Amino acid sequence: MQDLQTIAQTALAWPFEEARKILERLGGKKPAKGYVLFETGYGPSGLPHIGTFGEVVRTTMVRQAFSLLSDIPTKLFAISDDMDGLRKIPDNIPNSELIREHLGKPLTRIPDPFGTHQSFGHHNNARLQAFLDRFGFNYEFKSSSDCYASGQFDPMLLAVLAHYDEIINVILPTLGEERRATYSPFLPVCAETGRVLQVPVIERDVKVGTIVYKRDDGKLIETPVTGGHCKLQWKVDWGMRWAAFDVDYEMSGKDLIDSVKLSSQVCKILGHRPPEGFNYELFLDADGTKISKSKGNGLTIEEWLQYAPEESLAYFMYQSPRKAKRLYFDVIPRAVDEYLNFLEKFPEQSLEQKLNNPVWHVHDGQPPSEELPLSFGILLNLASVTNTEDKKVLWGFISQYAPGAKPENMPMVDRLVEYAIAYYRDFVKPHKHYRTPTEEERKALQDLATVLKGLPRDAEIIQAEVFEVGKRHNYTNLRDWFKALYQILLGQEEGPRMGSFIALYGPEETVALIEEALQKK
């Protein structure tokens, strides 16, 4: 353990870089609250998506790195901004008309269109927590509505009232002329309609803790700023929350850089130090457009987990957090195989290499150990060429390739078989398109069939022979040879390492596949 702590002081993996920032912030001392607080926020106006999960898993990775560097206790708050007024109906929910008459109300006071919880906010919060629990995150869930209503934010809300002018002077220069004329950091919750109002504040009474605001009908209303009668505009709310909880670390998307600066100023005005953190890049959909919860144009957590293990999703989040990445179904197979590759390397690595290996961060230093004779890509192509959705068929080939292999002693491979079948069924099978070989390709395929007859199930020997056939038939770029094999034999543009695939599928079986292709005119 001591060796690991020493190496972690200079480890290059980004979670350790972030953890060292927190250590420097603390100066080696335990905070007065007794623990280091990590925070992640969630806006529940739409269904939870992978970007939400990404923020939690990345924050957890920093927390794990910090716990190796220091014995100071840590906590993670997952906070839902569920007191926000819902401004528009999300595109991807049922019973949307049920919500229309409640627009403007806090999410926790809007009926659940799914009919499963007491409110829309409670439904989406439950969806978030269910996944975080499934992945095994160690966190405390916080509802903004509960924190406002219970009085937990009251001291800081009164402080915002006391420093009203200072905070206004920070925010106003960032607003347009029309918005500046009516802006107030306090958003009253109307006692009659239940809606969160953006209205001018006419008077303030710091001693009593109230504001007077002017309703759209011209009526002046006095209301406390505490006890859930008001909420704060979100940039002020963010800074207030950092101060109220004494947050030490929170990361956020690149699109919030300016907001982080403003909220940090608010936090300082309230007498607290803003948290450490960094800005990660945003996920894009297949068309390069920013993923939106309300549009539902990105992968959902559930969709990824239909086709790949959750560890591969955590790995995808670990990789290059400051680089914009497209997040759609085509990235899944590569993410799985990259994860498996790092997992395979881990046992033989030095301590320094292990701390910089993504699987250390995915599994909090304890990655699983299991023999993995096959990649996910190979299994996917096996499902494709056999055109089957029957696990037993695939396991028949696997057991021939790796004697003694069976689902009972290779549970991870068994999971990958299930995912490969699901991915093939939904994304490969509908788009398979076989082409007929040209005359030159027919000669090369006949040569390959002749060579394969009688070859052992040895991936390296087979790969070398496939290369030699391509060379003999004047493929100056051997990628063209392999691409032709994929198109003619597998019906797709890309494919596996042919030596490994043929060793798994069987040389004789591959000969039969070639002969079938040669019969096509």
Residues 409 and 455 in one domain: no
**Which residues of the chain carry a pLDDT beneath 50?**
none
Instruction: Output the pLDDT for position 298.
Output: 63
The single-letter DSSP state of residue 248 is -
Instruction: Output the pLDDT for position 9.
Output: 93
Residues 400 and 455 in one domain: no
Residues 447 and 499 in one domain: yes
Residue 492 domain flag: yes
- For residue 497, what is the domain's CATH number? 1.10.10.350
Instruction: Output the pLDDT for position 45.
Output: 76
For the stretch 166-191, pLDDT in tens is 999 999 999 998 888 889 999 999 99
CA distance 160 to 82: 20
Residues 453 and 503 in one domain: yes
Helices 439-452/478-485 angle, 10° precision: 80
Residue 172 domain flag: no
Residues 467 and 502 in one domain: yes
CA distance 521 to 438: 10
Residues 448 and 487 in one domain: yes
Residues 420 and 465 in one domain: no
Q: Is residue 505 helix, strand or coil? A: helix
Range of the domain at 450: 439-518
Residue 89 domain flag: no
User: Of the candidates 431, 455, 474, which is a domain's last residue?
Assistant: 431
For the stretch 31-56, pLDDT in tens is 999 999 999 998 877 666 777 788 99
Give the number of residues written for the chain.
521
User: Of the candidates 391, 406, 431, which is a domain's last residue?
Assistant: 431
Residue 228 domain flag: no
Question: For residue 291, how many other CB atoms are within 10 A of its CB?
Answer: 19
Residues 457 and 502 in one domain: yes
| Nearest 10 degrees: Cα torsion 228, 229, 232, 234 | 60
pTM as predicted = 0.87
Contact 228, 258 (CB under 8 A): no
Residues 425 and 443 in one domain: no
CA distance 197 to 167: 19
Residues 420 and 454 in one domain: no
Contact partners, residue 242, CB within 8 Å, separation at least 6: 39, 250, 263, 264, 267, 272, 274, 275
User: Of the candidates 431, 462, 477, which is a domain's last residue?
Assistant: 431
Residue 484 domain flag: yes
Residues 418 and 488 in one domain: no
The single-letter DSSP state of residue 328 is S
Residue 21 domain flag: no
Residue 391 domain flag: yes
Residue 305 domain flag: no
Question: For residue 341, how many other CB atoms are within 10 A of its CB?
Answer: 13
Instruction: Output the pLDDT for position 154.
Output: 98
Number of domains comprising the chain: 2
Instruction: Output the pLDDT for position 428.
Output: 87
Residues 462 and 418 in one domain: no
